[in-house]
Amino acid sequence: MSSCCMCAGRCEPANKFFSKIAKHYARRFRRSGLGKEQRLLLEGIRRDSVQGKRVLDIGCGVGALHLSLLKEGAAHATGVDAAEGMVKKAQLLSEEFGVAEKTNYINGDFVEYAEQLHDAEITMLDKVVCCYEDVETLVKKSTEKTAAVYALTHPKESLFVKTLFKSHIALAALFRWKFHPFWHDWQKMREMIVGEGFTCVYDNSTMSWRVLVYKRV
Ligand SMILES: C[S@@+](CC[C@H](N)C(=O)[O-])C[C@H]1O[C@@H](n2cnc3c(N)ncnc32)[C@H](O)[C@@H]1O
pLDDT tens sequence across 151-194 = 999 999 999 999 999 999 999 999 999 999 999 999 999 999 99
Task: Report the separation in Å between the CA atom of 62 and the middle of ligand 1, taken as the mean of its atom positions.
Answer: 10
Q: Is the pLDDT of residue 8 over 80?
A: no
CATH superfamily of 12-156+185-216: Vaccinia Virus protein VP39 (3.40.50.150)
CA–CA separation, 82 and 102 (whole Å) = 21
What DSSP assignment string belongs to 69-108? HHHTT-SEEEEEES-HHHHHHHHHHHHHTT-GGGEEEEES
CA–CA separation, 90 and 93 (whole Å) = 5
Nearest atom in ligand 1 to 38's CA: 8
Domain boundaries, given as residue ranges, for the chain: 12-156+185-216
pTM above threshold 0.85:
yes
25 lines ligand 1 (CB under 6 A): yes
**The predicted structure's pLDDT at residue 10:** 84
Q: Which has the closest alpha carbon to 151: 182, 122, 173, 131?
A: 122
- Report yes or no: 22 and 83 within 8 Å, Cβ to Cβ: yes
pLDDT band at 204 (very low <50, low <70, confident <90, very high): very high
Structure confidence by residue, pLDDT tens digits, 28-60? 999 999 999 999 999 999 999 999 999 999 999
Planar angle of CA 197, 151, 101, nearest 5 degrees: 115
CA–CA separation, 36 and 38 (whole Å) = 5
57 lines ligand 1 (CB under 6 A): no
Nearest atom in ligand 1 to 109's CA: 20
From 131, 135, 137, 153, the mutation candidate for ligand 1 (largest count of ligand atoms within 8 A of CB) is: 131
Structure confidence by residue, pLDDT tens digits, 67-81? 999 999 999 999 999
**The predicted structure's pLDDT at residue 4:** 47
